Amino acid sequence: MSASVLLMQDIAKTFPGVVALDAASLSVRPGEIHGLVGENGAGKSTIIKVLAGVYHADDGTVSIQDTPVSPVTSEVIHAAGVRFIHQELHLVPHFTVTESVFMGQEITTRLGLSRRLMCARAETFFRDVLDVEINGDILIRDLGTAERKLVQIARALIDDQARLVVFDEPTAPLASGEIEKLFRAIRRLKDRGIAIIYVSHYLSEITDICDRVTVFRNGRDVAVLDKVDENCANELIKAMVGREIDALYPKSGHTRGALVLQAKGLGDTGYFSDISLSAHSGEIVGIAGLIGSGREELIDTLYGLRPARTGEVTLHGKPVRFSSPADAVARGMVLVPRDRRRDGLVLDMSVSENINLASLEEVSCYGIELRNRARERASRQIRELDIRPDNPAIISRQLSGGNQQKTVLARWLATRAAIFLLDEPTVGVDVGAKVEIYQLIENLARNGAAILLSSSDPGELIGMCDRVLVMMRGRITHETSAVGLSIDQLVAMTTGASTQNSAEGHADAR
């Protein structure tokens, strides 16, 4: 048997303006489960896409079973026995399990499809290879999420040619109880001599299932752990993070005012449950959590975009029930959405129109917009926030990401809202604009606004917030003061490497 199933050496890949991979290497041995970890943007997905033939590397070599592969195309890689289990399920809800497993590789006779044979083959595969019983005639939409994941795996492996399987965040859609089912299947694959690359943000899963782990940071492989046990989570985090909190943040400590927003026992089936939180005037409360932790859905629910199935929200001590964002805005609660291009701005409207969108009644008279008053208002906001170029008539689409985000903020600043929900406010924004946005948020807090800041950047949360709530799989698992919190500690909490109550000395005195 050869020394490695897969050997990727010195892979380089540059996108315009970004070095995604810089002499990165990855080596996978036969029959092992190899973990691949790193923060967002570390280069994990880029190297997987190079292997898949989606991206073509600028430099470096790829060998499978000690045979160099060149060029790397999806066909060659498939023929060499490499399979990919994508994060999304990509199944047809009204197809049967059998039809889904054999999609694109149906067994036929001269008379047409051999449904019986395919069904039997699929059921045998589930029993023997994945160690579960799944009826081949059942519809996908009647299956639970874990079973759907297994159907997706079966589709990739049914031809029996797989030697290396890449799992990309396979547990992201699963509830914690369903994960064991998937792990049992993955271990069975390993027992059959199939090598596995396991990409995940959940370090608890990595230490649970992997034999070896490669850590990526800034486009390189910075560490390889040859022996993995529960105790190496800290070592992984150190290798992943490798930095201190930047000096971007204007934080100066806030004076906490009256209780403004409170949620009790908030829940939405399948997304989050039993969420209780509070925010005071003049306070910035952070919400940390991986993508899929329920953080996004929680923000949407607070804002009235999604109905809450259970629990209640009180504003200024009065219970409220928002059936739409308009209700929330009317009560002084506003949202800066994570996807500003889709949800935050009307891209083809001018900056002035976007800024005045939420306060049209102030710039109109008997329902007719007063152009001059509107433009004046917009110009004032543009000056205050330093939006560039400083022309209120320019179409929003033409602004840079940072200036678009400032336009969204300008709209809500104009309404003098009391509660700001900020969902990833600095995603895709350059450093200069980041500093300005942080200063704006800080000013809001100082002027007495209550701010909920949901972010996937641990540095930003620690740098900006007074308190941080950590969400994992739909629950708040930690609540801690941001003072003295290190990035390592916060990453350990969000990735499940640190269990409840283990962040000593950071329990918040509520």
Partner 1 sequence: MPMPASARPESGASGLSRIIDAAPLVIFLGMLIYIGFNAPNFMSFGTMQLVLNQSVPVVVVCLGLSIVVMAGGDDVVSGGIDLSIPATAVICAGIIAQLVTNTDTPLLLAIALALGAAMFIGIVAGLMVTRLGMTPLLTTLALFVAVVGVTKVVTSSRRINVDDPFIIFLRDGEILGISAGVVITLALVLVFYHFIHRTKWGLNLQAVGGSCEAAEISGLKPGHFLFWAFVIAAFTGFLASFFLLARGSGSSPGTENNLMLEMVLATFLGAAFSPRRVVTLWGAVLGAVLVAALSIGFKTMGVNVFWTGLIKGSLILVVLALAALSSRVKS
484 near partner 1, rule: CB under 8 A: no
Q: 396, 345, 351, 348: which is closest to 377 by C-alpha?
A: 351
Do you know the residue count of the chain?
510
Q: How many CA atoms lie within 13 A of 37 on its CB side?
A: 29
* Residues within window 247-286 making contact with partner 1, judged by CB under 8 A: 269-271
Stretch that binds partner 1, among 97-105, 206-214, 357-365, 384-392 (CB under 8 A): 97-105
User: Least separation, in Å, of the C-beta of 104 and partner 1?
Assistant: 3
Q: 465, 463, 444: which is closest to 508 by C-alpha?
A: 465
Binding-site size for partner 1 (CB under 8 A) equals 37
How far apart CA 188 and CA 256 sit, in angstroms, is 54
Binding mask 286-315 for partner 1 (x = CB under 8 A): ------x----x------------------
State which residue, 309 or 331, has the beta carbon closest to partner 1: 309
User: Please, is 116 exposed, middle or buried when counting C-beta atoms within 10 Å of its C-beta (0-12, 13-18, 19+)?
Assistant: exposed
367 near partner 1, rule: CB under 8 A: no
108 near partner 1, rule: CB under 8 A: yes
State which residue, 155 or 201, has the beta carbon closest to partner 1: 155
* 83 strand-pairing partners: 165
139 near partner 1, rule: CB under 8 A: yes
State which residue, 101 or 328, has the beta carbon closest to partner 1: 101
CB 138 within 8 A of CB 132: no
Stretch that binds partner 1, among 100-108, 210-218, 356-364, 432-440 (CB under 8 A): 100-108
* Residues within window 172-211 making contact with partner 1, judged by CB under 8 A: 173-175, 178
Q: How many CA atoms lie within 13 A of 502 on its CB side?
A: 13
Pairing state between β 259-268 and 272-280 = antiparallel
CB 145 within 8 A of CB 178: yes
What is the Cα 69 distance to its own chain's centre?
Answer: 32
110 near partner 1, rule: CB under 8 A: no
User: Which residues of 202-347 form beta strands (DSSP E)?
Assistant: 212-217, 220-225, 259-268, 272-280, 284-288, 310-315, 318-320, 333-336
User: Least separation, in Å, of the C-beta of 479 and partner 1?
Assistant: 23
161 near partner 1, rule: CB under 8 A: no
* Residues within window 442-461 making contact with partner 1, judged by CB under 8 A: none
31 near partner 1, rule: CB under 8 A: no
User: Least separation, in Å, of the C-beta of 269 and partner 1?
Assistant: 6
Residues near partner 1 (CB under 8 A)? 86, 88-95, 99-100, 103-106, 108, 111-113, 139, 141-142, 144-145, 148, 155, 173-175, 178, 269-271, 292, 297, 473-474
